[in-house]
């Protein structure tokens, strides 16, 4: 039977006992409101580890002052049922006070990788992400941790933190899970009205459009960015935060796609900020 624990002390004790019986521990860090994207991470963790922990914590330090921390969807009962169905052993569901007790003042900064893309429009976001993920790694001490590639910059920031701080955890990046019509699954999709939900398809369609442009020989990063922006702007409900053609590892913006590039999107549909990305490959 799956356990649900709320304190660091209990969680460490529980996992410590489990380690005596299993060969490895897998961690899936989440903010809850599970969808198929989350569940795909849990299934992979179940396949590769003897014990699977899912952290469920809406982390206030990665939300900006005008962002949706209080409104972010939460449904522990539903999440627990879904996690148990895919074989999760433990949910760690701490309070804000448990993770950030009175007087807390330490944070983790991952320099350059955190500064562009979403980091430019969400100051402090990746500081909050890196800090809470390092805390979770210290609490759970997993052998492997699983993250979706939809949050591509987040994945790269965490990979860099693990390398730089010599953390003994393998980071497993998992493919984006999409709805049948192409929309990337996200907890924030629940905010979309039916009209906005249809408009949000502009993101995934623009990724396919960009790969088509690359196939036609358009390799200029700026030209690709400009044409993708024009494509998205045909959707009246879309407001672009950022469109960028970047190096898959450094996240530097590319003047030319020589081999592969990541096209990263941040677009507001109504009041909801959505992100998406795709790895673009130059033919031949």
Q: Give catalytic residue positions.
A: 38
Quick count: other Cβ atoms within 10 Å of Cβ 264? 22
End-to-end distance of the chain based on CA atoms, in angstroms? 51
CA distances from 85 to 2, 39, 46, 79, 104 (A): 10, 10, 11, 10, 36
Report the SS3 class of residue 47: helix
**Given CA atoms 199, 201, 206, 207 in this order, what sign does their dihedral have?**
positive
Under 8 Å between Cβ of 146 and 44: yes
Q: How far apart are CA 9 and CA 171, in angstroms?
A: 25
CB neighbour burial string for 89-104, b if at least 16 within 10 angstroms, e if fewer? bbbbbbeeeebbeeee
Both tokens of 46, joined, read 């179940």
Q: Which of 133, 112, 156, 165 is nearest to 249 (CA)?
A: 156
């Amino acid at each position: 039977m799956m356990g649900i624990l709320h304190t660091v002390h209990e969680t460490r004790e529980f996992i410590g006992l489990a380690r005596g019986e299993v060969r490895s521990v897998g961690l899936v860090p989440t903010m809850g409101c599970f969808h198929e994207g989350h569940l795909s991470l849990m299934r992979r963790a179940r396949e590769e580890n003897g014990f699977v922990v899912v952290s469920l914590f809406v982390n206030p330090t990665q939300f900006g002052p005008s962002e949706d921390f209080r409104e972010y969807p939460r449904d522990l009962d539903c999440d627990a049922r879904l996690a148990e169905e895919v074989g999760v052993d433990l949910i760690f569901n701490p309070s804000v006070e448990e993770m950030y007790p009175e007087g807390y003042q330490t944070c983790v900064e991952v320099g350059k990788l955190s500064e562009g893309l979403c980091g430019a429009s969400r100051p402090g976001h990746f500081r909050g992400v890196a800090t809470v993920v390092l805390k979770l790694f210290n609490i759970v001490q997993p052998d492997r941790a699983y993250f979706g590639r939809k949050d591509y910059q987040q994945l790269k920031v965490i990979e860099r933190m693990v390398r730089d701080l010599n953390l003994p955890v393998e980071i497993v990046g998992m493919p984006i899970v999409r709805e049948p019509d192409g929309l990337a699954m996200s907890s924030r999709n629940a905010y979309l009205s039916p009209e906005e939900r249809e408009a949000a398809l502009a993101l995934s369609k623009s990724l396919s459009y960009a790969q088509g442009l690359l196939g036609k020989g358009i390799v200029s990063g700026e030209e690709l960015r400009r044409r993708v922006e024009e494509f998205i702007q045909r959707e009246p409900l879309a407001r672009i935060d950022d469109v960028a053609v970047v190096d898959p590892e450094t996240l530097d913006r590319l003047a030319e796609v020589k081999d592969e590039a990541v096209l990263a999107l941040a677009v507001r549909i109504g009041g909801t900020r959505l992100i998406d990305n795709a790895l673009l490959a130059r033919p031949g």
